[in-house]
Homo-oligomer: A and B are copies of this chain.
Amino acid sequence: MKRKLTLKDIARELEVSISTVSKALKNSEEIGRDTTEKVQAFAKLYNYRPNNIALSLKNKRTKNIGVVIPDIVHYFFTTVFRGIEKYSNLKGYNVIVCVSDEAFDKEVINTELLANGSIDGFIMSLSAETQSKMDFHHLLEITEQGIPLVLFDRVDDHVTCDKVILNDKEIAYQAVKKFLGNRRKNIALITTESYFNVSVKRAEGYEEALIEAGIPVRRELRLTLPYRDVNENEMRQFFSAAKVDAVLCVNEIFAVQCMAVVQKMGMKIPDDIEFIGFTDGMLSKYSNPTLTTVAQHGERMGEIAAEMLIERIETEIGEEKPFRTEIIEGTIVERGSTVN
C-alpha cells in the first residue's frame, strides 16, 4: 500500500522547498528550467496528484454541488439528476446527492450538513412535507450565507433564488384542450393528495381550459390519491360513480393504474375514454395502451439548473445578477391513450 504523495514528500526527496515544488508543477516562471523539469519528471513518475481537500480549504471552493431531492427511485428526478450530473461533470464539478425522502427533517439535516463547507451550491426540489409546512428557514439560511441555490420543479414563491420549472399550468391547459378538441366533455383530473405546487398549477390549467370552454368544473370529476400505495378500489369507485370520457393525471403511475382499472371495467381506450399523464417515463412508453403524456424534459431541466448554479458559483461576488426563473416548455407526446 503506497501512501499518497504530497508536495512535502517531493520536496524532501529532491532537496528543494515545498514552495518550489508547488511552483514548478504549475510552470511558474520563478523557477529555473532544470528544477522545473526535475520536479515535473519526479511528479509524473510517482503519479503525484494534489489533494482535493487541501485545495478546497485553500481555495474556499470544493467543486462539489449538493443535490437534494425528495426521491431517487422516481423517473423524473432521475432524469433531472442525469442532466445535473452531466453538465456539472463537464464543468469539473462533482455531485453530492441527498435524498430527503419527502421528509422535512431529512431535508433540513442534509442541507445544513452540506452547507458547512462541503459544497459550493445547491440544487434542490422541495419535499412534500416542506411544501405543506411552508417552512423554508433552512433555505433562507443557505442563501443568507451567500451559498447559491437553484430550485427546480417543486419550488415556492417564498424562497427567492434561481428556479427552473415546467410551464405546468399552460401544458395542462393544452392537454385539456386536446381532450376538448376530441369532443370530450366529462374530463376528470386525477391528482395528488398532498400539496405540491406542480399539482396545483396543473389543476389550474385544467380548470382554465374547462371554464374557457364553458364547461363547469365538477367536484365529482376530481380524484385525489395518496402519493404512494394507491388503492385500486378507490379508482374503481371513482370511475363507477362518474361518467368520464377523458382523464388528465398529474403523473404516469396514476394514469397507468387507472387505465388498467377502466379496461377491467370494460372500457376501451382511447375510444371510450382518453388518458393523458405527466412524466413521460418508462411506464408511458411500455404501458398498454401506450400513454400519451407530457414530457417534462427532466434532463434538460437538470442541465439548465446546473448551468444556472455554476454560473452563480463562478461569478465574482459583487456583480450580483437578479434571480431568474427559467421555464421549460412541456411537450405532449402522443401515444395510444388518446385519439390523435
| Interface set of A (CB-CB < 8 Å, partner B) | 1-4, 49-54, 56-57, 62, 64, 72-73, 75, 78-79, 81-82, 85-86, 89, 94-99, 106, 110, 112-118, 144-146, 253, 256-257, 260, 281-283, 286-288
How many of these chains are in the complex? 2
Decide if A146 touches B286 in the complex (CB within 8 Å). no
Decide if A253 touches B49 in the complex (CB within 8 Å). no
**Beyond A89-B98, A98-B85, A286-B256, is A116–B57 a contact (Cβ under 8 Å)?**
no
Decide if A95 touches B94 in the complex (CB within 8 Å). no
Contact check: which of B54, B94, B116 meets A50 at CB < 8 Å? B116
Q: A97, A99, A253: which has the most chain B beta carbons within 10 Å?
A: A97
5 inter-chain pairs at a CB distance below 8 angstroms, sorted by A residue, are A4-B117, A53-B62, A53-B117, A253-B282, A287-B287
Nearest-Cβ distance from residue A211 to partner chain B, whole angstroms: 33
Decide if A1 touches B146 in the complex (CB within 8 Å). yes
Which partner residue on chain B sits nearest A95 by CB separation?
Answer: B97
Q: A53, A94, A98, A110: which has the most chain B beta carbons within 10 Å?
A: A53
What residues of chain B lie closer than 8 Å to A52, measured between beta carbons?
Answer: 113, 116-118
Decide if B56 touches A85 in the complex (CB within 8 Å). no
Decide if A82 touches B78 in the complex (CB within 8 Å). no
What residues of chain B lie closer than 8 Å to A82, measured between beta carbons?
Answer: 72-73, 99
Decide if A96 touches B144 in the complex (CB within 8 Å). no
Decide if A51 touches B288 in the complex (CB within 8 Å). no
Decide if A112 touches B72 in the complex (CB within 8 Å). no
Nearest-Cβ distance from residue A15 to partner chain B, whole angstroms: 25
Nearest-Cβ distance from residue A50 to partner chain B, whole angstroms: 7
Decide if A96 touches B95 in the complex (CB within 8 Å). yes
Contact check: which of B1, B50, B118, B283 meets A144 at CB < 8 Å? B1
What residues of chain B lie closer than 8 Å to A283, measured between beta carbons?
Answer: 282-283, 286
Decide if A54 touches B117 in the complex (CB within 8 Å). yes
Decide if B96 touches A96 in the complex (CB within 8 Å). yes
Q: A110, A145, A283: which has the most chain B beta carbons within 10 Å?
A: A283
A288 to B336, CA, bound (A): 14
A85 to B57, CA, bound (A): 26
- Further contacts, 11 of them, CB under 8 A, given A57-B57, A73-B82, A253-B286: A1-B145, A2-B145, A53-B53, A53-B117, A85-B98, A94-B118, A95-B97, A97-B97, A260-B286, A260-B288, A287-B287
